Amino acid sequence: MTRALILLRRRLVGSIFVLLIVVIGTFLLLEAAPGDAVDAYIVSTGGDAGMIELLRHRWGLDQSELTRLANYLWALLHLDLGQSVTFSRPIRDVILERLPNTLLLMVSATALSFGLGSALGIYAGARPGSVRDRFLSIGSLALYAVPGFWLGLVLIVVFAVDLRWLPIGGIETLASDKTGLDRATDIAIHLVLPVSALGFIYLALYLRMMRAGMAEVWRQDFVLAARAKGLSRRRIVLAHVARNALLPLVTMLGLQSAQMLGGSVVIESVFSVPGLGRLAQEAVAARDTPLLLGIILTSAVLVIVINLLVDIAYAFLDPRVGAGEAGA
Amino acid sequence: MSGFTISRRTMLAGSAMLLASTAMPTLGWAQTPKKGGRLVLAADSEPRNLNPAIVASNGVFFISSKIVETLAEASFDGKDGLAPRLAVSWEGAADGLSVTFKLRDGVKWHDGKPFTSADVAFSALQIWKPLQNLGRTVFKDLAAVDTPDDLTAVFKFAKPTPFQLIRNALPALSSVVPKHIYEVGKIEDNPANNAPIGTGPFKFGEYKAGQYYRLTKNTDYWGKDEPYLDEIIYQVLPDRTSAASALEAEEIQLAAFSAVPLADLDRISKVPGLKVISKGYEGLTYQLVVEINHRRKELADLKVRQAIAHAIDKDFVVKTVFLGYAATATGPVPKNDPQFYTADVPTYALDVAKANALLDEAGYKKGADGNRFSLKLLPAPYFNETKQFGDYLRQALAAIGIDAQLVNNDSAAHIKAVYTDHAFDLAVGPPVFRGDPAISTTILVQSGIPGGVPFSNQGGYKNDALDALIAKASETLDTAARTDLYKEFQKQVAADLPLINVAEWSFISVARDTVGNIANNPRWAVSNWADTYLES
C-alpha cells in the first residue's frame, strides 16, 4: 500500500503545477478571443451605451485582465470558483449540478467500450486470422470511422423516432417526480442511446489493441511452455495471453478519459444531456470566463485522478512498473 | 387622430381574421377548448434573467410572458392593434405630456397580494426607464407616474412624447412586476429575476438548468375560465435537429421560433398529426439588412451602394435562402406593418449591367483580374439565414467585380467586430422591427450614436437631412403627421442607402394537431397563452 501512497504524493505535487498552467493558459486564451461576456449577452437584448457600461461594471469586465486573473487566482486559493456571469449563481453549484451526469455518461461509456471492446478483442485474438477475427476488426474500424454526432443522430432516428423504444434525449423524464429505484431505472433508460453513441466509437480502439496485443503474446515462449504443459486453449487464452495483452489497454484507459470528455461535448448536445461538456460549449459562446475556467479545472482534476487510479491499477497488475517509479 | 390610419388598420385586421378563419377551419367558435393537460415544447436557450421588465427580448418573453403580464398585448382585431391586459384603457393628453391608464380590477399577484397602480408606477420608474434595454430609450422622458387611486396610473413626461409611440411600445415594453417584491434590495440581484412573480395565467414552477422550465396553472387568474392548460414544460433542446425529432417522437407538442430549421419543414409537414404554422409572429419581424461601413472610401460613394443594391436578387434570396418563408423588402419598415409602411420609395431591381455601369461611372474600373476592389464581409452568425445570405452576397458581388472576403465569427466576436471595432466593410445583420420606427429602427441610420451600441448605426454614416427628419418625427405628436414623417424617412433611406434592406422574415411554429388556439395574435409565441388548450 505504501507504494501507492508514494505515487499519490508525487502526483499531487506535480498536479498543482499542471492545474496552475491550465488555469492561466485558459484565461489568456479566452481573453484573446474577440468579444466579452457583455458582447455575447447583448446579442439577444440590444441596449444603449449606458446600459452596456452598467453591465460591464456589474460583471467586473471594466477591470484590467491582470487584475481579473489575480482576483480569480486569489479566490481560487480560498477554493472559491467565483460567480457565473451567465447563470448569476456560484460556479461551484452550477458545476456540481452537471458533474454527476457527465461522470455517469463517461463511466458507462468507458465501461461499455473497455468491457465489450476487450472481450471482443479476446474473442477475435483467440484465433487470429479467422473469419470472426476479420469480421470484428473490419466492423469495429467502420464504427471508429463514424463521427460521434452522426452516430448519435442515426440512433435517435432509428430507436427514438421510428421504433420509439427509447427517449430521444435528456437525462431523465421531465418533471416526473420519480424517486428511488424508479428514477434510477428512468435515468438508465435515458442513458442507453448516448452511452452507445459515445462508447461504440471507442470500442474499436480497445478491440484492436487487445487483438494486436494478443497476436504479439501468442508468439512468446511462455505460451509455448503453457501449451507444452498441456493446458486447455481456453486457459491459455484467458490466463496467459489475454492478461498480458491487457496492460497497454489500461494505459489507454487513462489517456482516453481526456478524449472522452471532449467527445461528450458533442454527445451531450445531440442528446440534450445537461452535462459539463455542453456547459463548456455554452460558457465559451457566452464568454463566461470564470465558468469555463471552473469547468476546465474540474475536468483537469478529473483526468488527473483517473490517470492516478490507472497508475495504481497498473502497479498492481504489473509489479515491475510501480516498483520502478517508487524506487527512483 | 388620423382616420386614414385607423381605416387602413381595420382593413388589414379584417383580412387577417379572414385568413385565420379559412386557414384553420377546425378552430371555429363551435369548438370549446378543453381544460387540463400538459403542453411540452422546445426551448433552445436559457435566458440568464427571466424578468421581462428588465430584459425585453423574445428569448425572455417566450417563457416569462406567461407569468408576467404587460399593460396591453398586440392583437389582430383590437383598436390600434392592441388588446387590453393589465390596463383596460389608455388615453394620451393632447399636449403629449401625459398618458392615463385605467387598470384592471380584481387582479392578484401570484403570492396573493392585490395588483395596484403602485406596481405600475414602480415598474415604470424604477425598472423600465433606468434598466430596461428598450425602455431606456422609449421612456427616457418619463418624469413621474401619478396614482390618484389604486386603478389609475398617469404617466407624466418631461418632454412631449408621441402617444402613438407609447401605444406601440406597450406589448413589448410594459411588463409589470410586483413592487412589494422588488422594493427591497438591488433590483438586478432580486431572486425573483430567476423565479418571476407576476399576475399571468401561469406561475413559475421550477427550473432545472439544461433540462426544463415548468410553469403551473394560476388558479386565481383574472381571465374567466382561463387558463386551460394545467402545465407548460419548456424542454431545453440545444441541438438544431432535436426539436424536429422530438416532435416526431411525440415527446413535445410544439416547437416555436423556428426551432425546426426551414430545410426540415417540407418533410415535417408531411408527418401525420403535425402542422406547420407561419402565422402568429407578425409583430416580431426581422429584417435582413446589409450594413455598410461608410468609412470605406468606395462605400461612401452613393453610386457604389446603388450598384450593390442592383446586384442583389431579392426574389432569389427569399426563394432560396428562406425557402419562401419571407418577403422582399423595399425599405427600413417591413411590408407587414399596418401603420407606417409605404411602397412609394426608390427601388433597386436586379440589374447586373446597370450595377457594372454605375461602378464604372464611379471610377472603379475592373482590373486585369476582373476585380474592381476587395471588401471584408461579415455575416451575423445568429441565424442560418444570415450566414447563407452572406454566401449569396459574396457571389452576387463577384458578378459586379467586387471581391468580398467572408469573415465568419461567433456571436460575441461578431458584435465586437462590427459595433465596437468597426472592423468590417459590409456586414449582414438581422435588426428587429418593433412596431414603431422610433423603438429600434431609426438608430440604424441616425448619426451620433456612441461606439459599442449593437444594432445601431456604427458604419459612420452621417446625413444631416435624415437626422433632422428623425428628430422632428420623435417630437411630432399628431399621429397622422408622425406617420407621414416616417413614410418620408423610408423614402430617404431607400434613396441614400445608408444600409440595404433585402428581405423581411419571421418565425415558424410546428405543432401537433391537438394544440388549440395557436397563432391567434401577432405576438403569439411571446403572449400569455391563457387560451391555449390541448385536445386529448
For residue A287, report the phi and psi dihedrals to the nearest 5 degrees.
55, 40
Give the pLDDT score at B12: 41
Superfamily of domain B202-282+508-534: Periplasmic binding protein-like II (3.40.190.10)
State the count of interchain CB pairs (< 8 A) between A and B.
148
According to the model, what pLDDT value does residue B16 have? 41
Written as nine digits, the cell of A253 is: 484507459
* Interatomic CA distance for residues B210 and A170, integer angstroms: 9
- Strands, E assignment, B224-333: 231-236, 254-255, 274-277, 285-292, 327-328
Indicate if A128 and A247 belong to the same structural domain: yes
Torsion sign across C-alpha atoms A94, A98, A99, A102: negative
The answer to whether B345 touches B331, Cβ cutoff 8 Å, is yes
List the grid coordinates of A87. 447563470
Q: Which residues of chain B have pLDDT under 50?
A: 1-30
Question: What is d(CA B349, CA A162) in angstroms, rounded to the nearest whole number?
Answer: 47
In this structure, is residue A324 part of a structural domain? no
Q: Which of A48, A85, A97 to substitute to test the interface with B, most B CBs within 10 Å?
A: A48
Cβ within 8 Å of A, B 445-484: 449-450, 452-455
Matching CATH topology for B69-180 and B202-282+508-534? no
A236 or B489: whose pLDDT is higher? Answer: B489
Round to the nearest angstrom and report the end-to-end CA distance of chain B. 47
Give how many domains chain A has, as a whole number: 2
Q: Does B131 touch chain A (CB under 8 A)?
A: yes
What is the average pLDDT across A89-102? 92
For position A89, what pLDDT does the model report? 86
How is chain B split into domains, by residue range? 69-180, 202-282+508-534, 285-505
Torsion of CA A134, A137, A138, A139, to 10 degrees: 120
Contact call for residues B228 and B32 (beta carbons, < 8 A)? no
Of A31, A58, A91, the residue that ends a domain is: A91
Q: Are A310 and A250 in contact (CB under 8 A)?
A: yes
The answer on A47 and A196 residing in a single domain is no
- Residue B31: the pLDDT is 64
| Average pLDDT score over residue span A4-20 | 81
| Residues of A whose CB is below 8 A from B206 | 175
Q: Give helix B479-496 / helix B163-173 axis angle, nearest 10°.
A: 80
Residue A322 lies in a domain: no
> Are A158 and A254 contained in the same domain?
yes
Provide the domain limits for residue A7. Answer: 1-91
CATH topology of domain B285-505: Dipeptide-binding Protein; domain 3 (3.10.105)
pLDDT of residue A319: 67
Cβ-count burial A84-119 (b if 16+ within 10 Å, e if not): bbbbeeebbebbebbbebbebbbebbbebbbebbbe
A154 and A275 together in one domain: yes
The span from the CA of A274 to the CA of B158, in Å, is 49
A67, A136: one domain: no
Query: A35 and A178, same structural domain?
Result: no
Give the residue from A43, A63, A91 where a domain finishes. A91
Q: Are B33 and B517 in contact (CB under 8 A)?
A: yes
Q: Let me know: does B90 contact B347? Beta carbons within 8 Å.
A: no
The CA distance from A272 to B275, in Å, is 24
Q: Are A254 and A116 part of one and the same domain?
A: yes
Greatest Cα-to-Cα distance within chain B, rounded to the nearest angstrom: 77
| A276 neighbors A95 (Cβ within 8 angstroms) | yes
pLDDT at A107 over 70: yes
Q: Name the residue in chain A with its Cα closest to that of B44.
A: A272
CB contact under 8 A, A270 and B235: no
ipTM over 0.90: no
A278 and A142 in a common domain? yes
CB within 8 Å of chain A, chain B residues 224-253: 231, 233, 235-239, 241-242, 245-246, 248-251
Q: Nine-digit cell at A63?
A: 477591470
Q: Which CATH number fits domain B69-180: 3.40.50.720, 3.90.76.10, 2.60.40.1120, 3.30.930.10?
A: 3.90.76.10
Q: Whole-number mean pLDDT of chain B?
A: 92
CATH of the domain at A198: 1.10.3720.10
Q: Are B40 and B250 in contact (CB under 8 A)?
A: no
Give me the pLDDT at residue B17, please. Answer: 40
Q: How far apart are CA B70 and CA B67, in angstroms?
A: 10
User: A38, A69, A91: which is the final residue of a domain?
Assistant: A91
Three cell numbers written together for B293: 461601413
Query: DSSP class of residue B294?
Result: T
Mean pLDDT of A182-191: 92
> Which residue intervals of B26-70 are DSSP H helices?
58-64
**Alpha helix ranges (H) inside A219-318:** 221-229, 233-235, 243-270, 276-285, 289-317
Contact B32, B517 (CB under 8 A): no
Has residue A162 been placed in a domain?
A: yes
Residue B69, classed as helix, strand or coil, is: coil
The verdict on residue A208 lying in a domain is yes
Query: What percent of chain A is modeled with pLDDT above 90?
Result: 26
**How far apart (Å, rounded) are the C-alpha atoms in residues A98 and B219?**
34
